[in-house]
């Protein structure tokens, strides 16, 4: 009897040790990866001219939008659909194959879209034909190679192989940084070489992640129709939102490419690197928080949900306050070409912070399958209404005004996400099943 009691007491400590190891691996890995990315980003906009960095920034924004349209959220459903069947290789493989079925078709369609639209966006800013072609090549190759990472990262997450994920990404990031530096030393670095090196990094990540996940996955040769239907059923309510968010995530760059000057695009790209201060928080949503929230019993869900949301808001507020009081270190990082952007810097951090909170709330809602048809429709209608009003009320050739528009839009989206959370909790609250 005493032995059983001792074992019962040891169990919470064992779980605490395992959780501490997972969180420690995440913080160390994400911290190292973020450091490499920050160094690469800051050196890149220092090494490139304003015109070259504008080219790179526009290509990167377009690539991010195309990536969301190609992935379309299918890989993001794997964790929720697998649930507690994490040791069933066939189940995981069925969902990977089902998602790839959709991804292959979307990749072909979006590649054609990129080949037509991207050159048109560059006309106003007078990119050379060769530069446009090479940037387009980097966009399409990156889209292809990200498929490996997208579909083979979930098995590693579910098996808590966080350190493996970060080892791969840190090595590839460090290698890219070294090659960028060599290109800079020999005066060969430009916008399209920087973009192509990003594609090579994506290739390396995808190959190694797929290889590492092979022990946890058994991918069939044919698609399981049931897995396809489950994925589609889960995503149907949010499909309009996915398409909308694909463009909305880069709306500031796109608006500046239409209304602003070339230097505004470079300034927006440089400021966005400061937003990487939030990267640890945003990455925690998919790697740590979503899998944990998916398994939390109803009795303790409300408390943990509020704790995670409140902690995220507090940490983002600390970053904004510090930047407002002591902006000089961040302006120094931006360099002399961008050190006049003090007000824009604080506004951008407010905007990005609200975006991080939105992302964390979304990850938790998705993990609990609180996905409602009205959510994306309300977000789309409300955000477009706000932005149309801003076209008439604000001078959108101004970088500061474009950021202000995005702050207002993000606040509206946050209100909608919290409404979805309330809807998810509502049945249990009526039953008073939360403690």
Report if residue 135 sits inside a domain. Answer: yes
pLDDT on residue 340 = 85
Of 249, 278, 297, the last residue of a domain is: 249
d(C-alpha 127, C-alpha 104), whole Å? 30
- What would the two tokens of residue 119 be? 């050159």
Query: Is the domain of 228 the same as that of 353?
Result: no
Closest CA to 29 of 137, 171, 144, 177: 171
How many distinct structural domains can be found in the chain? 2
d(C-alpha 119, C-alpha 62), whole Å? 11
pLDDT tens track for 72-130? 888 888 888 887 787 888 888 888 888 889 999 999 999 999 999 899 888 888 889 99
pLDDT tens track for 260-280? 788 888 888 888 888 777 776
Query: Is the domain of 304 the same as that of 382?
Result: yes
d(C-alpha 199, C-alpha 60), whole Å? 11
Which residue in this structure is represented by tokens 């966005």?
272
Phi then psi dihedrals of residue 83, to 5 deg? 60, -125
**pLDDT > 80? residue 164:** yes
Tell me how far apart the 2 most distant CA atoms of the chain are, in Å.
80
Query: Is the domain of 49 the same as that of 106?
Result: yes
pLDDT on residue 336 = 80
**pLDDT > 60? residue 311:** yes
Query: Is the domain of 269 the same as that of 373?
Result: yes
Of 218, 249, 280, the last residue of a domain is: 249
Query: Is the domain of 329 the same as that of 398?
Result: yes
Closest CA to 193 of 173, 176, 206, 208: 176
d(C-alpha 351, C-alpha 406), whole Å? 7
pLDDT on residue 9 = 47
pLDDT on residue 430 = 65
Say if residue 411 is exposed, middle or buried (CB neighbours under 10 Å; 0-12, 13-18, 19+): middle
Report if residue 77 sits inside a domain. Answer: yes
Report if residue 17 sits inside a domain. Answer: no
Mean pLDDT of 322-351: 87
Mean pLDDT of 234-255: 82
pLDDT on residue 175 = 93
Closest CA to 235 of 50, 346, 80, 123: 80
Query: Is the domain of 224 the same as that of 273?
Result: no
Query: Is the domain of 289 the same as that of 255?
Result: yes
Mean pLDDT of 52-77: 89
Query: Is the domain of 141 the same as that of 221?
Result: yes
d(C-alpha 312, C-alpha 346), whole Å? 18
**pLDDT > 70? residue 428:** no
**pLDDT > 80? residue 3:** no
DSSP character at residue 223: -
Angle at 214 between CA 209 and CA 218, to 5 degrees: 135
d(C-alpha 11, C-alpha 224), whole Å? 39
d(C-alpha 325, C-alpha 55), whole Å? 32
d(C-alpha 379, C-alpha 383), whole Å? 6
pLDDT tens track for 4-46? 555 444 555 555 555 565 566 666 766 787 788 878 888 888 8
d(C-alpha 323, C-alpha 433), whole Å? 42
d(C-alpha 81, C-alpha 65), whole Å? 25
d(C-alpha 61, C-alpha 70), whole Å? 14
Lowest pLDDT segment from 15-19, 127-131, 240-244, 322-326: 15-19
d(C-alpha 314, C-alpha 358), whole Å? 14
d(C-alpha 201, C-alpha 142), whole Å? 9
pLDDT on residue 338 = 83
d(C-alpha 351, C-alpha 342), whole Å? 14
Report if residue 156 sits inside a domain. Answer: yes
Report if residue 266 sits inside a domain. Answer: yes
Closest CA to 270 of 31, 44, 64: 44
- What would the two tokens of residue 432 be? 């008073």
Of 249, 284, 299, the last residue of a domain is: 249
Percent of the chain with pLDDT over 90: 28
Q: Which residue range is the domain that position 80 belongs to?
A: 24-237+244-249
Closest CA to 80 of 280, 259, 258, 294: 294
Query: Is the domain of 229 the same as that of 266?
Result: no
Query: Is the domain of 218 the same as that of 315?
Result: no
pLDDT tens track for 174-212? 999 999 999 999 989 999 999 999 999 999 999 999 988
Closest CA to 299 of 428, 210, 165, 400: 428
Query: Is the domain of 162 the same as that of 68?
Result: yes
Mean pLDDT of 125-150: 91
Query: Is the domain of 175 the same as that of 218?
Result: yes
Closest CA to 363 of 73, 163, 146: 73
Contact between 348 and 389 under an 8 Å Cβ cutoff? The reply is no
Which residue in this structure is represented by tokens 């037509």?
116
Q: Please state whether the predicted TM-score (pTM) of the whole model is above 0.75.
A: no
Mean pLDDT of 62-70: 90
The per-residue pLDDT of the chain, averaged, comes to 84
Mean pLDDT of 247-265: 83
How long is the chain? 435
Report if residue 7 sits inside a domain. Answer: no
- What would the two tokens of residue 99 be? 């998602």
245 vs 392 pLDDT, higher one = 392
Whole-number Cα distances in Å, 430 to 90, 296, 423:
39, 19, 11
Report if residue 18 sits inside a domain. Answer: no
DSSP character at residue 288: I
Report if residue 392 sits inside a domain. Answer: yes
pLDDT tens track for 146-158? 988 888 888 888 8
Q: Give the three-class secondary structure for 417.
A: helix
Which residue in this structure is represented by tokens 């009526």?
430
Mean pLDDT of 353-379: 84
């Amino acid at each position: 009897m005493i032995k059983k009691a001792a074992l019962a007491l040891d169990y919470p400590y064992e779980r605490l040790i395992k959780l501490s190891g997972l969180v420690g691996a995440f913080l160390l890995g994400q911290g190292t990866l973020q450091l490499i990315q920050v160094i690469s980003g800051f050196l890149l906009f220092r090494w490139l001219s304003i015109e070259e960095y504008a080219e790179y920034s526009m290509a990167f924004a377009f690539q991010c939008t195309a990536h969301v349209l190609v992935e379309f959220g299918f890989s993001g459903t794997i964790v929720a659909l697998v649930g507690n069947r994490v040791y069933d290789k066939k189940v995981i493989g069925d969902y990977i194959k089902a998602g790839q079925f959709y991804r292959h078709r979307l990749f072909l369609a979006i590649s054609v879209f990129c080949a037509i639209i991207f050159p048109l966006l560059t006309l106003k800013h007078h990119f050379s034909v060769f530069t446009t072609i090479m940037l387009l090549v980097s966009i399409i190759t990156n889209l292809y190679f990200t498929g490996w990472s997208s579909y083979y990262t979930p098995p590693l997450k579910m098996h808590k192989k966080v350190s493996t994920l970060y080892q791969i990404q840190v090595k590839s990031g460090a290698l890219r940084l070294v090659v960028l530096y060599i290109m800079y030393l020999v005066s060969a670095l430009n916008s399209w070489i920087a973009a192509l090196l990003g594609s090579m990094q994506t290739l390396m990540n995808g190959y190694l992640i797929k290889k590492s996940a092979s022990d946890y996955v058994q991918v069939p040769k044919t698609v399981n129709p049931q897995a396809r239907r489950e994925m589609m059923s889960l995503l149907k309510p949010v499909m309009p939102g996915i398409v909308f968010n694909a463009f909305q995530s880069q709306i500031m760059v796109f608006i500046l490419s239409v209304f602003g000057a070339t230097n505004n695009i470079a300034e927006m790209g440089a400021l966005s690197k400061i937003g990487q201060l939030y990267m640890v928080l945003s990455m925690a949503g998919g790697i740590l928080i979503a899998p944990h929230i998916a398994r939390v019993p109803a009795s303790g869900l409300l408390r943990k949900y509020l704790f995670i949301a409140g902690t995220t808001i507090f940490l983002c507020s600390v970053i904004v306050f510090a930047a407002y009081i002591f902006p000089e270190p961040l302006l120094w990082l931006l360099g002399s070409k961008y050190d006049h952007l003090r007000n824009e810097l604080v506004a951008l951090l407010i905007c990005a912070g609200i975006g991080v909170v939105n992302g964390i709330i979304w990850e938790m809602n998705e993990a609990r399958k609180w996905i409602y048809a009205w959510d994306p429709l309300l977000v789309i209608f409300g955000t477009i209404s706000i932005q149309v009003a801003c076209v008439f009320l604000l001078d959108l050739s101004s970088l500061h005004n474009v950021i202000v528009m995005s702050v207002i839009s993000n606040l509206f989206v946050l209100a909608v996400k919290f409404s979805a959370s309330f809807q998810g909790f509502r049945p249990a609250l009526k039953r008073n099943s939360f403690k």
